[in-house]
Amino acid sequence: MPRMRIVVAMSGGVDSSVAAALLHDEGHDVIGVSMQLYDQSEGQASFGSCCSIDDLHDARRVAAAIDIPHYIVNFERQFDEQVVSNFVREYAAGRTPLPCARCNSDLKFATLADRARGFGADAVATGHYARVDHDSAAGRYLLKRGVDPVKDQSYFLFSLTQEQLAVARFPVGDRPKDAVRDYARARRLPVADKPDSQEICFIPDHDYRSFVEKQLPGGAGDGVFVDEQGRVLGTHDGIHRFTVGQRKGLGLASPSRTPMYVLALRPAAQQVVVGPRTSLEQTRLTASGVNWIAVEPAGPVRAHVQIRHRHQPAAATVRSLGDARAEVVFDAPQIAITPGQAVVFYEGDVVIGGGWID
């Protein structure tokens, strides 16, 4: 690769730190950029372990260690509009949001790509475990899984456009996590043994229910549990407290002693529909907001489809419905297809496209 000027999104974690170090060691002109995503002046540094004020300090220490310039940019307004507000709206609408996908591609990558031009940069790099390739015959960029199947993050990046993929660099996507840690130690990066973040960064104490309640105008609405026949089984404190497939925390006693699961959420009536696990099995879904990274198919295509980050991809037939919508029909029933989550279509390691489950 010829020498380039590359902006690296530095979160303060080991993956983005190694991404910056790798590119610098390859001889590129690297600029580190960290995002301040929420107001940290009132004790909010306790929000999770991602993008906190400590992470910004860690990113700056890494930049100093590898001798690259480092800048902090304020994206509080964009983060609130595109990620936090969406998170609250989705829960209020009876859907289960995926804020990390909204943040990684819709906010971080798209916004950094714009900022990179201001730095005169040729590309944008992150610490995601994914890969970009170019199909010269089709004249399109391809998004591929990272080589480490446990750490692969291509699922969260399905919405990247051709223009964004053209400037995307994922330096750690071609190596396993252990090798990334080893490189960080060999390079004496101060975050070499820093734990990975696991939680949603803007939710203190993992209590998303209380967070949503505080953000909802007028608070959350009470409602009822109903079975599949519409019979009322009990009351609840708001549909935002539940997600499709949930079993624990319902506080319901089944007359037949059969464990009860959340089957659906009906926000207009504030109803939580519950039933046996077998009723969670579905073979079909529709998705909106679909982004076709490969060419939009003219007819049905076979794919392996992922409906959650840790979901084992399942064989299915995918058909474009036009207007950025798609239908997926699985060969075998899938458990807990959840509105609001991402559905991503794969052909081998290549992401064909993806969207949001209706």
- Phi/psi for 31 (5° steps) reads -120, 120
* Burial class for 223, CB neighbours closer than 10 Å (0-12, 13-18, 19+): buried
| Residue 259, both tokens | 């464990």
Rounded to whole angstroms, how far apart are CA atoms 23 and 108? 19
Catalytic site residues?
A: 103, 201
Helices vs. strands in the chain: H and E counts, helices first: 9, 17
- Phi/psi for 201 (5° steps) reads -65, -30
| Residue 295, both tokens | 């060419």
Asked if 281 contacts 333 with a C-beta cutoff of 8 angstroms, the reply is yes
Residue 48 region by backbone torsions, left for phi larger than 0, else alpha for psi between -120 and 50, else beta? left
Rounded to whole angstroms, how far apart are CA atoms 94 and 339? 8
Rounded to whole angstroms, how far apart are CA atoms 107 and 274? 35
What's the farthest any 2 CA atoms get from each other in the chain? 69
